Structure 1
Amino acid sequence: MTVLPIRITGDPVLHAPAREATEFDDTLRTLVADMFETMDRAPGVGLAAPQVGVPLRLFVYSYDHDPAGPRRGVAINPQLWVSPTPIGEADEESEAEGCLSVPGERFPLRRAARARLTAVDLEQQPVELDASGWFARILQHENDHLDGVLYVDRLDFLHGRRARKVIASNRWGKPGSSWLPGVDDLEA
């Protein structure tokens, strides 16, 4: 397995919708294995293919704190349904979210409390996930990547302005910026 460079905000692959995966072959299996290795090394709880420069609709996830038990897997060509997102200001502590493509930063963001995801795995077998709490947040965050949306794009005005300042001060926001987990000191 190989650790892949993670693209940083500004890279075009992060800001465009990904295409459906159609080839379920050894190349896809290798990509998924490398994505798990990269996510674990980062460390992260999810990683979408666009984050490693591949514009395919798939992501991996690993979350050990779900009341239903540990969750780890791959979602290929997912569809996501969510409960209504609560109205009001996001809590700075309990709703702070981070992203491997905006490394080292966390900003509060309101998300739906529940989500239902359908997808397929590497064997093209159905995957159905019902999620609540943080696991629902992870699924929404990773699915957003497949639509070319980063969580900083969803922030309210004040937090969005702070995020834009951080991105500018780090000289991100342009094509070609990336970091390599385990080598570069840019943990999310």
Structure 2
Amino acid sequence: MAILKIARMGHPILARPAEAVDDPSAPEIQRLIDDMIETMQDANAAGLAAPQVHAPLRVVVFHVPAARAESEEGVVPVSVLLNPVIQPLDAGTQVGYEGCLSLPGLTGAVPRWCRIRYAGLDRDGRPVDCLAEGFHARVVQHECDHLDGILYPQRMPDLGRFGFVEEMRRGLDREG
């Protein structure tokens, strides 16, 4: 396994749609998945999409650690999703601050659907069909956006709520 280099905002691979994975069992796909998981864990991230590691494929890995879960039932172990499709379950959205390995040191307030259903394949090619809400829904939407060439600032209606993490924290501390 290997720690992969992260593409940063401005790299063309992050601006174009990724291609579907035809054979989840292919050795190069399995190696990519293993390397993505190791890279995500090394970066202490909640998720990672293949385009972020210079692979133009519809592959995401993610997890919801206890510290980010709304309840014990909200913890999600490391998960792999190939060729995902997202469906909002209602019109409800919530704004939350997000970060991204491709925009190091930055954060912004992004509206996301509160409740979604996502489907796709797991690393063994088995069908996945899952309901998600809260942070789980947010991380899946964020990572799947990468597969469509979208970075979170493109979802932000107010760029006044976009900036460097440490500056944004200072601003919030002054307001509080």
Contact 2:74–2:136 under 8 Å retained in 1: no
What residue is the counterpart of 2:30 in the other structure?
29
* Equivalent of 1:77 in 54, 75, 83: 83
Task: Work out whether residues 98 and 106 of structure 1, in 8 Å CA contact, stay in contact via their aligned partners in 2.
Answer: yes
Mean Cα displacement is larger for which, 58-67 or 26-35? 58-67
The two structures have a TM-score, normalised by structure 2, of 0.83
Residues 78 and 119, structure 1, Cα contact 8 Å, conserved in 2? yes
| Structure 1 residue 12: Cα displacement | 0.7
- Answer whether contact 2:92 2:115 (CA < 8 A) is retained: no
Q: Which has the higher helix share?
A: 2
**Quick one: which amino acid aligns to residue 104 of structure 2?**
P
> Match of 1:18, SS?
coil
String of CA shifts for 1:90-129, please: whole Å, max 9, x gaps: 4xxxx11111110111111111111111010121101122
* CA RMSD in angstroms, aligned pairs only: 1.7
Percent identity over paired residues = 38
Instruction: Kindly indicate whether the alpha-carbon contact (under 8 Å) linking 1:56 and 1:146 is maintained by their aligned counterparts in 2.
Output: yes
- What is the 5 A alignment of 1:13-28? 13-24=13-24, 25-28=26-29
Three-state SS of the structure 1 residue aligned to 2:106 is: strand
The one-letter amino acid of 1:86's match is T
- The 1-side partners of 2:59 and 2:108 are apart by 24
* Stretch moving more, 39-48 or 65-74: 65-74
Structure 1 unaligned runs (5+)? 167-188
Which residue of the partner structure matches residue 9 of structure 1? Answer: 9
Deviation at 1:69, TM superposition (A): 4.2
**Structure showing greater relative contact order (alpha-carbon pairs closer than 8 Å, 6 or more residues apart):** 1
| Counterpart in the other structure of 2:137 | 136
Q: Which ranges of 4 or more aligned residues in structure 1 deviate by more than 2 Å?
A: 65-70, 157-160
Report the TM-score when normalising by structure 1: 0.78
| Deviation for aligned residue 1:157 | 3.8
Secondary structure at the counterpart of residue 99 of structure 1: coil
Count residues with an aligned counterpart. Answer: 157
Please say if residues 115 and 139 of structure 1, whose CA atoms lie closer than 8 Å, have aligned partners that are also in contact. no
Paired with 1:21 and 1:61, the residues of 2 have a C-alpha distance of 17
Aligned 8 A contact 1:108 1:159 in 2: no
Write the letter of the residue equivalent to 2:91: P
1:86 maps to 2:93: yes
